Amino acid sequence: MAKTDHVPLPAVRRLSLYLRQLEVLHAGDHQTVSSKQLGAALGISDAQIRKDLAYFGQFGHPGIGYRVPELILRVRRILGTDKTSNVLLVGAGNLGRALFSFRGFSKKGFEIVAIFDNNPEKVGRVLDGPTKVTIQPTAEMDATVRDHAIRLGILAVPGPVAQAVADEMVSAGIRALLNFAPVTLQVGKEVAVSSVDLAVHLEQLSFQLGCVSG
Amino acid sequence: MAKTDHVPLPAVRRLSLYLRQLEVLHAGDHQTVSSKQLGAALGISDAQIRKDLAYFGQFGHPGIGYRVPELILRVRRILGTDKTSNVLLVGAGNLGRALFSFRGFSKKGFEIVAIFDNNPEKVGRVLDGPTKVTIQPTAEMDATVRDHAIRLGILAVPGPVAQAVADEMVSAGIRALLNFAPVTLQVGKEVAVSSVDLAVHLEQLSFQLGCVSG
């Protein structure tokens, strides 16, 4: 596959949605699907779907549409989720523990293999999720990242310490950060960051409520 | 304030980021800030900030910039978070419980006042978060939504049941949904939906990792 750093991120996000819907179809034993059918299920136009997929190659078959199992494999390969990725998690508070026990990650090929937290009451405790993982102090991060070839990290620590922890993660070798802390992280261009800002989501909805009721 | 249903959602999302940074400045006792300073802290251009704020009125003072406490109040009013909103949560699994104990919501004016789950082992249990809330069966949702004037709901149930639960919430009167289930919800135009799709975030990062290392 050609490396495709010119693809707009919204197209990549939609690729995830296509994959999810394809997996639903596959579970229902559907062998083929048209861009029209796929779009109807997702509220996305078929032209948009064809355009998004065209960034990555030729996928349809004339008179057939897309072959579901084939397109699943190819989209997974594009996203890099055709193989399992080791992931680390920093922050073993409520949110961190919920994320660890969330089965959706491992279903998608992401395995949380290490958990860090510097709270002395938490270090050494074993968390039981999809696997059992012992909470480590962040001083051990460098070695763990190296030993498990980890490049993806989840940050679930309070806002005031988030930047310092992110710096530690990057210096240990993490190159992609899923950030749950309510701060704008400053990282170098070699690091990809995706932020899940829960309060911002609620504020958006609150604003929209004002509009629909106004 | 003029109701502003023509404002693009990305501008509203940035408004949340401006508010957060303003709150940081306020906590640090800064009384004024320029769009340039605000932008530098967030990695957003000052022109973008001025454009976003211009949707809502005139906020700057010549020769001074923005007055921090004043802008905080006005942005909160725009977002509808100058007063507390009652919120309900459906799904008392790992994620639902973590969301309930997340203090970030109540800091932003969102109070989870009711929790629903139809698992008989969970109904009647009391969860201890920012407040104590007893888990109720969804059959009681209509009455609770009415009694507490709830319009905002958080959906933290497994994918396969999410659409049915969302339908119940909308029929009970919920008009804004924060969805954590990995599905594309179908709702009417009178309902705002914001989805937090954790696996999609990881897939995006995985794709970007492929680009930076490729």
Chain A within 8 Å of B179 (Cβ-Cβ)? no
- The predicted-structure confidence for A65-123, as pLDDT tens digits, reads as follows 999 999 999 999 999 999 999 999 999 988 898 889 887 788 888 999 999 999 999 99
pLDDT at residue number A18: 95
- The predicted-structure confidence for B152-192, as pLDDT tens digits, reads as follows 999 999 888 999 999 999 999 999 999 999 888 999 999 99
Min distance B49 CA to chain A CA atoms (Å)? 15
pTM above 0.80, yes or no: yes
- The predicted-structure confidence for A130-146, as pLDDT tens digits, reads as follows 889 999 999 999 999 99
Any idea of the CA torsion for A11, B154, B102, A91, to the nearest 10 degrees? -40
Chain A residues with CB under 8 Å of B43 CB are: 184, 186
- The predicted-structure confidence for A28-70, as pLDDT tens digits, reads as follows 999 999 999 999 988 899 999 999 999 999 999 988 899 999 9
What confidence category does residue A162 fall into, taking pLDDT thresholds of 50, 70 and 90? Answer: very high
Q: State ipTM.
A: 0.87
Contact B200 A16 (CB under 8 A): yes
pLDDT of A201 higher than 50: yes
What confidence category does residue A4 fall into, taking pLDDT thresholds of 50, 70 and 90? Answer: low
Contact A196 B199 (CB under 8 A): no
Query: What percent of chain A has pLDDT above 70?
Result: 96
pLDDT at residue number A88: 97
CB contact residues (below 8 A), chain A span 90-109, against chain B? 94-95, 97-99, 101-102, 104-105, 107-109
pLDDT at residue number A212: 52
Question: Which domains does chain B carry?
Answer: 9-79 (1.10.10.10), 85-200 (3.40.50.720)
pLDDT at residue number A1: 44
Three-state SS string over chain B comes to: CCCCCCCCHHHHHHHHHHHHHHHHHHHCCCCEECHHHHHHHHCCCHHHHHHHHHCCCCCCECCCEEEHHHHHHHHHHHHCCCCCEEEEEECCCHHHHHHHHCHHHHHCCEEEEEEECCCCCCCCCEEECCCEEEEECHHHHHHHHHHCCCCEEEECCCHHHHHHHHHHHHHHCCCEEEECCCCCCCCCCCCEEEECCHHHHHHHHHHHHHHHHC
Please give the full DSSP string across A2-39, using - where no structure is assigned. Answer: ---TTS-HHHHHHHHHHHHHHHHHHHTT--EE-HHHHH
Tokens 């992401």 found at: A110
pLDDT at residue number B5: 64
User: Average pLDDT in the A173-191 region?
Assistant: 93
Q: Which residues of chain B have pLDDT under 70?
A: 1-5, 211-214
CB contact residues (below 8 A), chain A span 142-161, against chain B? 151-152
